[in-house]
Amino acid sequence: MSDLVARINPPVRTLMGPGPSDIHPNVLAAMAKPTVGHLDPYYLKVMDELQGMLRQLFRTENAMTFAVSGTGSAGMEATVVNLVEPGDNVVVCVNGVFGKRLADVATRAGGNVTVVEKPWGEVFTADDLKETIAATKPKLVAIVMAETSTGAWQPIEEISELVHNAGAMLLVDAVTSLGGVAVEVDKWNIDAIYSGSQKCLSCPPGLAPVSFSAKAMETIMNRKTPVQSWYLDVSLLANYWGENRVYHHTAPINMSYGLHEAVRLILEEGLDNCFARHLKNHQALAAGLSAIGIEYTAAEGHRLPMLNAVKVPEGIEDTVIRKGLLNQFGIEIGGGLGAFAGKVWRIGLMGYAARQNNVLLFLAALEQLLAAQGYQFDRGASIEDANQVYLAYSHAKTLG
């Protein structure tokens, strides 16, 4: 007889990578509540409340705003495969890993995809897209608002105006941005958008908030061909998340509890307060990193507060530092992807992880590990400069 496998007992980590992020204790507690049926009146009430809160988070009145049962990648696939039919012209903006994924999914859906590329770490302007949009007359233009592989923060409004003036629809990846910076679905006239539960929402991975405009829903309901995915077919999901509540699939009930509490906590804090908290901790981290000579990959003015992609210093071994952070201090950060593999660290300050104690702990741990590798810097400078940022915020608050 084989030995009994031990009960799961994961280590306690400080999750400061590109996701998942630290989970608020209230979210974990919510997920431990009793499971009910996926058509139980109580669960239908949870669904209604979750939809209402997601509309506030996305800043939209879109009726078809809900959580796809799956990770952020399922949200990406759901938005693409519902809007793209075989032969449709699609323009995809690629300046990192996740733009490439959008292009791949659109191609698999049968779209005639044209990729517009920018160097990793840079963002797109309307001028970058004018010629391609005029030449291809796309049905859909897709862009990543917060490129998790590079830390670049993409402005949306000007590009949205260009896209709609050309008669196309706009699809936005907000996996890393939602809950960390303002996402204005209605103001920016976004037709379809998706996110994930595990980034700035500080909920475990497993649900993907999405929202479709009235124009997008009209397009979906008048398709010439069936959506290639039965599971992600929004015309079917609309009957489950809409007024009829017709059974489609067994929803992840306890995950919904978790997301419900995660979004409720953000709204309780206040969206503007939440965004300000992310920015404050980003500024403290950036000041600390600058003090010891560590540079960002994205240009100033386009750096994500919640995902800090920085260059590994010359002569420093990427994996040695990341393993040291994990094994000695229980801190997880991410390495570079694709063209940035081995060259970049991705430091997350997402949701519940965007806290002063995490920033100061990380900087202290990083200094120790860098010193052990012989890196030359002013010892303690990162902590001092980060604290100066926090002191400035405290002083401003006192005066206010």
Put the strands of the sheet holding 344-348 in their side by side order: 307-311, 344-348, 334-335
Asked if pLDDT for residue 1 goes beyond 60, the answer is no
Interval 230-258: pLDDT, tens = 999 999 998 888 888 888 999 999 999 99
Those residues whose C-beta lies under 8 Å from the C-beta of residue 276, and which sit 6 or more positions away, are: none
What single DSSP character describes residue 32?
T
- pLDDT, tens digit, for every residue of 265-282? 999 999 999 999 999 999
**Tens digits of residue pLDDT in 354-374:** 999 999 999 999 999 999 999
Instruction: For CA atoms 162, 168, 173, 174, give the dihedral sign.
Output: positive
- pLDDT value of residue 246: 86
pLDDT of 6 above 80: yes
Its sign, for the CA torsion 269, 270, 273, 279, is positive
Domain 25-268 and domain 270-399 have a common topology: no
Task: Please check the confidence at residue 400 and state whether its pLDDT lies above 80.
Answer: no
Tell me which architecture the domain covering 270-399 has in CATH.
Alpha-Beta Complex (3.90)
Tokens standing for residue 219: 């397009």
Ordered by start, the domain boundaries in the chain are 25-268, 270-399
Cis peptide before 20 (omega within 30 of 0): yes
Whole-angstrom distance, CA of residue 194 vs CA of residue 313: 34
Across the range 334-356, mean pLDDT stands at 96
DSSP state, residue 225: S
Amino acid occupying residue 315: G
Q: At what angle do helices 72-83 and 97-108 cross, to 10 degrees?
A: 40
CATH number of 25-268: 3.40.640.10
The pTM (predicted TM-score) of the whole model is: 0.96
- 8 A C-beta contact, residue 183 and residue 59: yes
- Residue from 194, 192, 201, 208 nearest 252 by CA: 208
